Structure 1
Amino acid sequence: MVSAAPRLVVIGANEGARLARAARLADHYGIPRLPAADLLLRRRPLPPGGYVIDSSPQLLDGASGIGGLRPALAFADLVVLLHGADWTGAEEARRVLRYYEARGMLAAFPPDAPDGDLIVAVDAVLRGRTEDPPDGPAGGP
């Protein structure tokens, strides 16, 4: 069954813009915003009804090893990258972003893009979803 609420990861180098954007998207869809750092520390399960995770690009690189996030493909519909004109990211972050881009899971926007532009992208992904991603192991992402 397809859930109506999106499962998003919002990443960006500018913490203030990322947090504000993640909060606005969560509010728009009526779903919780979850800081990735808290998920790593608390290891709690993700809510089944959708969520917005805010993260730095480097946290996405933590594979499913001890203490690391599972790859976003396992628990997200879309990775939203907020990039600035001068943001280059670390080499590791670029590798991870190319991985999500190649799988059609990455949507990049400047931090000042209108919320409506992001919502259009998220809604398009939701329309294309045919099934929910598989549940992850107990203990969270």
Structure 2
Amino acid sequence: MGVTAPRVVVIGATEGLRIARAGRLAAHYGVPRLPAVDVLIRRQPLPVDGYVIDGAPQLLDRVARVGGLLPALAFADLVVDLREAGRTEGEDAGRILRYYEARGALAGFRPDAPDGDLILAIDAARRGRTAADPPRWP
């Protein structure tokens, strides 16, 4: 069974670092980089051929308060958390991060970690997933 295009959410770090990292990952996989605001607030449809979404950690607080995860987050193969020293999460964001950790779909990296380390984690997370898993939006 072939490996499908990744569905990745990149959170954390400063906006510039996060956007640059998400852009490089999207270019590596040949998928679009989507700002989280476009997907979660404007409800932009998700590409069926994979994507990299970038958003601030506070995004998770907002999503948790509206009754659960939206598909862009719920269906992610991997949430890449670019954790900066001293950063703390709110209660809701921490709960969502623990959810991804329990699913084995959270990978924490320093913001200056090599792209290759993230690519290895993304590739491992998407192995075994079929192209039919899961739908774009419920």
Normalised TM-score (structure 2): 0.85
Identity of aligned residues (%): 62
State the AA in 2 paired with 1:72: L
Asked if 2 retains the 8 angstrom alpha-carbon contact of 1:79 and 1:107, the reply is yes
Question: For residue 92 of structure 2, what is the aligned residue in structure 1?
Answer: 92
Q: What secondary structure does 1:108 align onto?
A: strand
**Residues 6-63 of structure 1: CA deviation (Å, up to 9, x unaligned):** 0100011421211111001001101000001112332221000000001122323415
Find runs of 4+ consecutive structure 1 residues off by over 4 angstroms: 63-66
State the AA in 1 paired with 2:103: R
The change in CA–CA distance for 1:59 and 1:2 in structure 2 (over 3 A counts) is farther
State the AA in 2 paired with 1:84: E
| In 2, Cα distance between equivalents of 1:81 and 1:9 | 8
Matches within 5 A, 1:57-96: 57-61=57-61, 62-63=63-64, 65=66, 69-70=70-71, 72-73=73-74, 75-96=75-96
The change in CA–CA distance for 1:3 and 1:130 in structure 2 (over 3 A counts) is same
Q: What secondary structure does 1:20 align onto?
A: helix
Normalised TM-score (structure 1): 0.83
Q: What secondary structure does 2:87 align onto?
A: coil
- CA RMSD in angstroms comes to 2.4
Question: How far off its partner does 1:71 sit?
Answer: 6.7
Question: How far off its partner does 1:4 sit?
Answer: 2.4
Unaligned runs of 5+ in 2: none
Question: How far off its partner does 1:122 sit?
Answer: 0.7
Matches within 5 A, 1:1-141: 4-61=4-61, 62-63=63-64, 65=66, 69-70=70-71, 72-73=73-74, 75-130=75-130, 132-137=132-137
State the AA in 1 paired with 2:5: A
Unaligned runs of 5+ in 1: none
| In 2, Cα distance between equivalents of 1:116 and 1:41 | 31
